[in-house]
A and B are shown apart, each in its own frame.
Chain A
Amino acid sequence: MFGQANVLAQGQAEFPPSVEDFYLPSILPWGAHDNYWFTKITLMVWLAVGVLILFFLLSYRNPKLVPTKKQWFAESIYGFVRNNIAVDMIGHAGVRFAPYFTTLFCFILLTNAFAIIPFFQISPNSHIAFPAFLAVISYVMFNWIGIRHHGFVKYFKNSLIPPAPWYILPLLIPIEFFSTFLVRPFSLAVRLFANMFAGHMLLLVFTLGGFAMISANAWLAPVSVLSWVMTIALTFLEFLVICLQAYVFTVLTASYVQGALAEEH
């Protein structure tokens, strides 16, 4: 039950890849099997945090009127999130939240991108813990914003009581509660997790499938080339999914913030 690289190094590809393949061996006590305090995944998350902090610090350290290449890049990411997500979804009040959205977008984009960067090749977001925690942060934030903007009672009244006659309200309030306060964080987390999990699984199936076929018999060996070509094609598809999921997560967070700030439904 090792990671992809180990399996290939040993020359024995276990063909149907399983969930076990997502649990990489430990790094700090090197190669330990049931020690999950510092694994490749942990390393990648800290690396992503470090890279993002360094990148934005360095590119904004002495901003120039005519931006350098690095500054231009950082500014265009921030500008994209600010104008195309924050202001588009929320309006002028959205500029306040643009830093959070930019952090969220960059972090998810980078951790997702580890899925296809050579030698990393697995995304931390393919473990439910990371998307779940990101979703919890967004969830707490939009509720907090809504409560601060409207006051506790009015916020819950706004989001739980739909415009309807009083006698059907008992029927509707549980549904509203379910779809506003339970489904939202769940679907945020699961959407990102499932996409990254399925993406990694798909690449594993085609890569390991190629190895399985090349060692099966002489007739199947040429087909393994097809399998690896598929892997390359799917890597490009993964790239698309990576960008799309980072964007979708940020846009949905923005739309929940917008819903929390909205006056009346």
Chain B
Amino acid sequence: MAGDQKPPSTGGPGDDPSGAGQGWTALSYLIGGMLVWGFIGWLVDQWLDLGGIATGIGVVLGMAGGIILVVRRLGTPT
């Protein structure tokens, strides 16, 4: 089954998730950041009637947050 195509792990038990796992983590942080802060921005938009500006700011902020998370979680050389 799919079990035998695991990349060889070199570290101990506290190993990072490898390969595809890291990719999914990175992508889900980016999309998650965008969605969460985009949604908060959208709420502000509905509240103050700004016509999409707050949503845009929220998306950019969330994207920045997502990038920071990816860099912190995956991009720090161990």
Direct A–B contact in the complex, CB atoms closer than 8 angstroms: yes
- Contact B13 A183, beta carbon cutoff 8 Å: no
Contact between B28 and A183 (Cβ–Cβ < 8 Å)?
Answer: yes
Shortest Cβ distance from B62 into A: residue? A175
Contact size range, B: 20 to 34
Check B29 for interface membership: any CB of A closer than 8 A: yes
Would you call A265 an interface residue if the criterion is a C-beta within 8 Å of the partner chain's C-beta atoms?
Answer: yes
A164-B72, A175-B62 known; A247 and B36 CB under 8 Å? no
Which residue of chain B is the closest to A93 with respect to CB atoms?
Answer: B13
Point out the residue from A164, A175, A255 that lies within 8 Å of B32, measured CB to CB: A175
* CA gap between A171 and B29 in the complex, in Å: 12
Q: Is the beta-carbon distance between A174 and B1 smaller than 8 angstroms?
A: no
Q: Tell me the smallest distance from the CB of B7 to a CB of chain A, in Å.
A: 12
Please measure, in the bound complex, the distance between the C-alpha atom of A172 and the C-alpha atom of B37, giving whole angstroms: 10
Contact of A265 with B73 at beta-carbon distance under 8 Å, contacts A88-B6, A243-B1 already known: yes
> Chain A: which residue is nearest B3 at the CB level?
A84
- C-beta contact mask, B16-38 vs A, less than 8 Å → 1, else 0? 01000100000011001101110
Q: A residues 137-190 with Cβ under 8 Å of B?
A: 162-164, 168, 171-172, 174-176, 178-179, 183
Hey, which bits of chain A sit against chain B, CB under 8 A? 80, 84-85, 88, 91-92, 162-164, 168, 171-172, 174-176, 178-179, 183, 243-244, 247-248, 255, 262-263, 265
